[in-house]
Structure 1
Amino acid sequence: MSALARIALTAYRWAGVVLFPCAGILLAVRASKGKEDRSRRMERLGHAAANRPHGPLIWVHAASVGEMGAVTALMREFRRAGIHVLLTTGTVTSAEIAANRLRDEVIHQYVPIDALPAVRRFLDYWQPDLAITVDSEIWPATLQSLHDRRIPQILVNARLSDRSFARWQNHAKVASSLFSKLAMVIAKSDLDGERFRDLGAWPVTVSGNIKVDTDAPSVDMELLGQYQRQIGHRKTWAAISTADGEENVAAMVHRALKAHMGQLSIVVPRHPQRADEIEAMMVQQGLTVARRSRNDEITAETDVFLGDSIGEMGLYLRLTEIAFVGRSLVQGAGGGNPMEPAVLGCAVLSGPHVENFRESYQRLVRHGSARVVRDAETLAKAVHFLMNNPLARHKMGDAGIAAVQDMRGALSITLKALEPYTNPLTVKARLEPKAAAGE
């Protein structure tokens, strides 16, 4: 490690120690804004709110909902091997989904803030045998603490966006110092693998995107039938995972097509807590809105079905065959995950800004299952075309299912790469109950 990198990382760690007494105030402010769980914010300071089970334990960190969904199947494989799983996330929404979707399969805690007192308290209590981080979450104090304790940390489904890679390149010596402490990086694309190697990570392997190996999002069939009856024979399209500004685009598309299509528009914002302002904007434009959170009925007069609930993407996507994936018309947002609509046979539309899912979109476009639009006008034209051309719509949907099938296999590659670290834990899990019985 260079002297400059050592000074920078030491300053970062000591800043965390010095400012740690203020962390409680910051968390309280965030809780007042709904960004922290008020009743569980002590977990963010490293305090445990659950018992540490006896036996081997893998700590899996998934920053938010998308990352958690990507590694759900991976965590279940660990559990089948008898290894306990501690899942940490950083958002209130992800905690709610973990409680609903994973129940007693894993132990959920909020991730401790990256300050030495919190990290030390967390690791002293949980004592994980292995730490697995999803995507690109790198926290210097946590990584150093794991390294000091000889707890391997591995990145899975790892990616580096254009912006993140450029930022790390500007601090190459610090990056090399940090990334070299990782036990392994399992990247989701060749480009991501190359970037991690350039920044000092080793060994690096490429698995593909494990989000492709996840099951299609589940649905309450009774609820689905209820909404299908309410919608009747109306044509539908959906704008999902939308960022601020894209709901207005969806409203513009709806108004452009309404006179001669009479369609129902389904809008699912990435952050459901924005639903009040989204509804107000749409009502101001003369649109009638039904909200899922209020259990509003969809009537013939309803213009927009606002999907402001958590964990029900499977419902919204099964109500349509056309899905615009948001965070893609806003520069810098990175794009949304197109795999959920593709696996359900939806024709996929997207804006051009999809750097976080570049390879997935390239594969879908090559298969003919996704199209790129530039703005509200081209989106309206694409939606209009697909609504009026069932043959083209179904061809895109079938191509999406085929593309997803071709891209599967990342989960098995990831599990194989992890075997040097997980196999000893599997053996330990099998032997420990016998040892305990003989005591």
Structure 2
Amino acid sequence: MSGLARIALMGYRVAGICAYPLVSPYLTYRAIKGKEDRKRRLERFGFPSQPRPHGPLIWVHAASVGETNAVIPLIRELLRRQIHVLLTTGTVTSAQLVENRLGDEVIHQYVPLDLKFPIKRFIAYWHPDVAITAESEMWPTTMAELKRRNIPQIRVNGRLSDRSFERWQRNGKLAELLFGKLSLVVARSDLDAERFHDLGAWPVVVSGNLKGDTDPPPFDPALLNHYRQQIGTRKTWAAICTFDGEEAAAAFVHRALKPRNRQLTIIVPRHPERADAIEAMLTEKGLTVARRARNDAITEETDVFLGDTIGEMGLYLRLTEISFVGRSLTEQGGQNPLESAMIGCAVLSGPQVQNFRETYQHIIRKGGARMIRDTEMLAKAVHYLMTNDVARRKMIDGGQDAVQDLRGALSTTLKALEPYLNPLTVTARLRPAGTDG
């Protein structure tokens, strides 16, 4: 069976080599759709756009916005130790987040495609001392090349969804070949740790969720004051990180509650490139929309403030005290509720939160979140929280207590990483000044 697994991996690599000539047209198509950075497309082929600095360098990969936010505190600790950080991400939105939050403190590149030539080119140039990946991605070609060069591969904030675990279980020998290449897994829950171990990873330690140690998302105080003045005394609620269908649910809630509450609804889609389609849908339902990307003013007639920008979640959440967190009603998996809770929002969510099960369970136990079954129940919950200050305040306090309880994952993660970080820290601090050419 292990022989079949090795044949499957070889077939994957061969298929990648055969598909290589088709990659460029595919990336061009994605660039047209706004899903790739046309100017930096060569980075996806492993070609560097910046020089490699002298001295120790750790490659940190975070696939998208959520993973990037989670590893920022860890990255800051690596930088404090004078270790260079190469941070790769896979989306345009996450690249913008890196620019906003870290600037030139790190070297940012788009992650190369998991194909033989891009990966060999990328690793040969950057030659990282350690490779750290966040959460759940497994890329066979990348892992094989790192293993061939004896570069430690570490998974932090590791998680495996129900669906992913079941899929890997059905391919047990293949999982053993891949998960066995990991030098260390720092899992975010006991359940995730058990799953990684069952699939062949060792050693595995539990840290808790790194997202509990993140800072609240930043905001522009002048801009916040600007919008608060425009909103005035109107009640507000927000539907954030929404996926297709959840904006329509928010529109239903708004129309149902408007005669009684005259509220402003804030919608922040998970993918801002959908904003035109969302605005068209809302307008068709007779709602007046102000878009942040257009700097539209919020007036008495505005029904929906559409948050179609990157990196301003801190602004949107501070305009309300009620937050419905999406990808949970019409989509599955859920999104991170901790940002809403730490800023001071009562959290509402649909039932499909498998990717954040433990986090929601803890916040619910503290009274900071409530699950809703459907759109009608969401409307009732929003109305109740808008009109009941005591209940809303109790949920906000419960959520913030839960956030405090969930802190500590960063220190546990750093302790687990010490055998890999300490030699690099010593080397970095012994490096003569002026050698970072």
With the length of structure 1 as denominator, give the TM-score of the two structures: 0.98
What is the letter of the counterpart of residue 84 of structure 1?
H
Listed as ranges, the matches of 1:159-238 within 5 Å are 159-238=159-238
Q: Distance in 2 between matches of 1:139 and 1:191?
A: 22
Structure 1 stretches of at least 4 aligned residues deviating more than 2 Å after TM superposition: 434-437
What is the letter of the counterpart of residue 342 of structure 2?
V
What is the letter of the counterpart of residue 269 of structure 2?
P
What is the letter of the counterpart of residue 22 of structure 1?
L
Equivalence for 1:89: 89
Equivalence for 1:337: 336
Give the CA deviation at 1:21.
2.1
What is the letter of the counterpart of residue 227 of structure 1?
Y
Q: Distance in 2 between matches of 1:127 and 1:399?
A: 46
Q: Distance in 2 between matches of 1:434 and 1:133?
A: 30
Equivalence for 1:43: 43
Determine whether 1:99 maps to 2:95. Answer: no
What is the letter of the counterpart of residue 161 of structure 2?
S
Q: Secondary structure at 2:88's aligned position in 1?
A: strand
Listed as ranges, the matches of 1:26-65 within 5 Å are 26-65=26-65
Using a 3 Å threshold, how does the CA distance of structure 1 residues 282 and 198 change in structure 2: closer, same or farther? same
Q: Secondary structure at 1:131's aligned position in 2?
A: strand
Q: Distance in 2 between matches of 1:100 and 1:395?
A: 33
Q: Distance in 2 between matches of 1:57 and 1:127?
A: 8
Q: For each residue in 1:121-167, what CA deviation from the matched residue of structure 2 results, as whole angstroms up to 9, or x when unmatched?
A: 00010000000000101100000100010000101001000111111
Listed as ranges, the matches of 1:322-361 within 5 Å are 322-331=322-331, 333-361=332-360
Give the CA deviation at 1:266.
0.4
Q: Secondary structure at 1:433's aligned position in 2?
A: coil
- Segments of structure 2 that go 5 or more residues without pairing to the other structure are none
What is the letter of the counterpart of residue 411 of structure 2?
S
Q: For each residue in 1:67-108, what CA deviation from the matched residue of structure 2 results, as whole angstroms up to 9, or x when unmatched?
A: 000000100110010000000000011111111211111000
Using a 3 Å threshold, how does the CA distance of structure 1 residues 282 and 433 change in structure 2: closer, same or farther? same
Give the CA deviation at 1:246.
0.1
Equivalence for 1:382: 381
Give the CA deviation at 1:433.
1.5
Give the CA deviation at 1:2.
1.2
Determine whether 1:261 maps to 2:256. Answer: no
Q: CA RMSD in A?
A: 1.2
Q: Secondary structure at 1:156's aligned position in 2?
A: strand
Equivalence for 2:5: 5
Q: Secondary structure at 1:104's aligned position in 2?
A: helix
Q: For each residue in 1:168-224, what CA deviation from the matched residue of structure 2 results, as whole angstroms up to 9, or x when unmatched?
A: 111110001100010011001111011001100000001000001001111100000
Give the CA deviation at 1:430.
1.1
Equivalence for 1:410: 409
What is the letter of the counterpart of residue 194 of structure 2?
E
Listed as ranges, the matches of 1:253-292 within 5 Å are 253-292=253-292
Q: Distance in 1 between matches of 2:435 and 2:347?
A: 54
Q: Distance in 2 between matches of 1:78 and 1:151?
A: 17
Number of residue pairs matched by the alignment: 436
Give the CA deviation at 1:434.
6.8
Using a 3 Å threshold, how does the CA distance of structure 1 residues 436 and 381 change in structure 2: closer, same or farther? closer
Q: For each residue in 1:392-421, what CA deviation from the matched residue of structure 2 results, as whole angstroms up to 9, or x when unmatched?
A: 000100111111001100000001100000
Q: Distance in 2 between matches of 1:224 and 1:313?
A: 11
What is the letter of the counterpart of residue 334 of structure 1?
G
Determine whether 1:394 maps to 2:376. Answer: no
Using a 3 Å threshold, how does the CA distance of structure 1 residues 394 and 435 change in structure 2: closer, same or farther? closer
Give the CA deviation at 1:61.
0.3
Give the CA deviation at 1:330.
2.2
Give the CA deviation at 1:18.
2.1
Equivalence for 1:317: 317
With the length of structure 2 as denominator, give the TM-score of the two structures: 0.98
Q: Distance in 2 between matches of 1:99 and 1:434?
A: 26
Larger CA deviation: 369-378 vs 29-38: 29-38
Q: Distance in 2 between matches of 1:219 and 1:203?
A: 39
Give the CA deviation at 1:27.
1.1
What is the letter of the counterpart of residue 412 of structure 1?
S
Q: Distance in 2 between matches of 1:17 and 1:275?
A: 37
Larger CA deviation: 45-54 vs 97-106: 97-106
Q: For each residue in 1:346-383, what CA deviation from the matched residue of structure 2 results, as whole angstroms up to 9, or x when unmatched?
A: 10000000000000000000000000001110000000
Using a 3 Å threshold, how does the CA distance of structure 1 residues 232 and 5 change in structure 2: closer, same or farther? same
Equivalence for 2:425: 426
Determine whether 1:19 maps to 2:14. Answer: no
Q: Distance in 2 between matches of 1:33 and 1:381?
A: 38
What is the letter of the counterpart of residue 165 of structure 1?
F
Equivalence for 1:149: 149
Give the CA deviation at 1:432.
2.2
Give the CA deviation at 1:31.
1.1
Q: Secondary structure at 2:432's aligned position in 1?
A: helix
What is the letter of the counterpart of residue 356 of structure 1?
N
CA contact (8 A) 2:54 2:435 kept: no
What is the letter of the counterpart of residue 341 of structure 1?
S
Identical counterparts, % of pairs: 66
Give the CA deviation at 1:436.
6.5
Using a 3 Å threshold, how does the CA distance of structure 1 residues 134 and 280 change in structure 2: closer, same or farther? same
CA contact (8 A) 2:188 2:209 kept: yes
Give the CA deviation at 1:22.
1.9
Q: Secondary structure at 1:132's aligned position in 2?
A: strand
Q: Distance in 1 between matches of 2:129 and 2:115?
A: 21
Q: Distance in 1 between matches of 2:431 and 2:5?
A: 42
Q: Secondary structure at 2:181's aligned position in 1?
A: coil
Equivalence for 2:158: 158
Q: Secondary structure at 1:298's aligned position in 2?
A: coil
Give the CA deviation at 1:20.
1.4
Listed as ranges, the matches of 1:117-132 within 5 Å are 117-132=117-132
What is the letter of the counterpart of residue 380 of structure 1?
A
Q: Distance in 1 between matches of 2:189 and 2:72?
A: 20
Equivalence for 2:369: 370
